[in-house]
Amino acid sequence: MNKRVPGFSLLELIIVIVIVALLAVTALPRLLGAIDDAREASVQGVASGFLSAVMAARTQWEAQARPSVTSGGEKYNLVDYDGVEFWLTRSKTSAGSSTGFSDGYPLALRQSVYSETITDQTCVDLMENLLHSSPKVGTAAEVSSDASLQYSAIADNANASCTFIQQEKSSAHQFVYNIKTGRVAVTFN
């Protein structure tokens, strides 16, 4: 007698494999799209938090009647924001000349001397001290040797801006803080 062994035939197995492959081919782009959407949302969230902190520091400065210090005959704006002192932008020198900046936006940590020179480290300091739960950020040189950093900070002294670039796999999403105007712009790449 010829007994049949229960199980699947080779044809049935091939059909199942083809169906699973077709499902994977259609689902994979959606999954990859969802990952990129998550990266975009992450940058948008950090940029929104950064802008909120910039505006909160400026609002605190306004609420405290625009505190400043005078040194060498020049008046410099500053604010203590959450226990950290920041130099803020100023629109005019004491002689009345325009600086090219709007009043009251975070420029740098108050260390010793006021300076309108923006460096990569200035940008790192701004992100780490304005945001309560800052993502890990470093200069471009630090990012190349430390894979745990989530953002690189690049200063553009000529345009008085800081660019923060997401370091997530192939993502180059970024946001730019324009120190002259206090604006934050997000770019998805």
What is the tens place of the pLDDT at every residue in 105-134? 999 999 878 888 999 999 999 999 999 889
What is the tens place of the pLDDT at every residue in 139-165? 989 988 998 999 999 999 999 999 999
145 and 156 in contact (C-beta within 8 Å)? Answer: no
The pTM for the full model equals 0.82
1 pLDDT band, cuts 50/70/90, is low
Query: What is residue 2's predicted lDDT score, i.e. its pLDDT?
Result: 67
Q: Name the token pair of 90.
A: 């100023």
- Greatest alpha-carbon pair distance for the chain in Å reads 111
Q: How far apart are alpha carbons 89 and 63 in whole angstroms? A: 16
Query: What is residue 53's predicted lDDT score, i.e. its pLDDT?
Result: 96
What is the tens place of the pLDDT at every residue in 8-61? 788 888 888 888 888 888 877 776 677 778 888 889 999 999 999 999 999 999
- The DSSP-derived string for 68-124 is EEEETTEEEEEEEETTEEEEE--SB-TTS-B-SS-TT-EEEE--SS------HHHHH
